[in-house]
Amino acid sequence: MLASTGASEARIAGMNLYNLRVIRQTKGSIAIFSSSLGDISMGAAGLTEKQANAEGFQIVVGRNEGVDHHPAKLPETSKQKVKLIFSKGSGVVLGAQIIGGQSTGEMINILGLAIQKHMTASELAIMQYGTQPMLTAGPGNYPIVLAAMSAVQQMYV
């Protein structure tokens, strides 16, 4: 679970050795990982709902359940669950968990970047993305977007 953090810090150290002047604000690790067990893949980044509550955040949780290919009858299509944790006041994404098929690893990487860049539920709800039937959910059913939209609806109701 420390390999991706170590690799990122090693790139910064290497750039510093050659005076490439990478500007980075150190805000700690976002605790991002992905793994696979048989046909099930899972990933997490940032805070869980339990951690966010324990740290005193007022949160909104966005969820989506769907499939990772379109149409759903394609071979090797997997059910997929996405859970996004947002700060209620600012709308900033604090954490994410995904369980599903092979696209889980890359989706959690997207959400790790979203956490690093302090993206909001509104920004994730309107993000642009590329879809392809054998690789992703459908254009109107992209799980990150739908989970973010679920949170936005809760924030403004």
Domains of the chain, start order: 1-30 (no CATH), 31-155 (3.30.390.30)
| pLDDT band for position 96 (cuts 50, 70, 90) | very high
Q: What does the pLDDT read at residue 22?
A: 63
Element housing 42 (H / E): strand 40-46
Q: Give the model confidence (pLDDT) of 37-89 as tens digits.
A: 999 999 999 999 999 999 999 999 999 999 988 888 888 889 999 999 999 99
b/e burial code for range 65-76 (CB count within 10 A of at least 16 → b): ebbbbbeeeeee
Section 2-26 average pLDDT: 69
Q: How far apart are CA 14 and CA 94, in angstroms?
A: 29
Quick check: 29 pLDDT over 80? Answer: no
Which tokens is 130 given?
A: 């590329």
pLDDT at 25 over 60: no
Tell me: the pLDDT tens digits for 129-155?
A: 888 888 888 888 899 999 999 999 999
Confidence check: pLDDT of 111 > 90: yes
Please report, rounded to a whole number, the percentage of residues in the chain having pLDDT higher than 90.
Answer: 61
Burial class (CB in 10 A: 0-12, 13-18, 19+), 154: middle
Predicted pLDDT of residue 24: 57
| Cβ proximity of 74 and 134 under 8 Å | yes
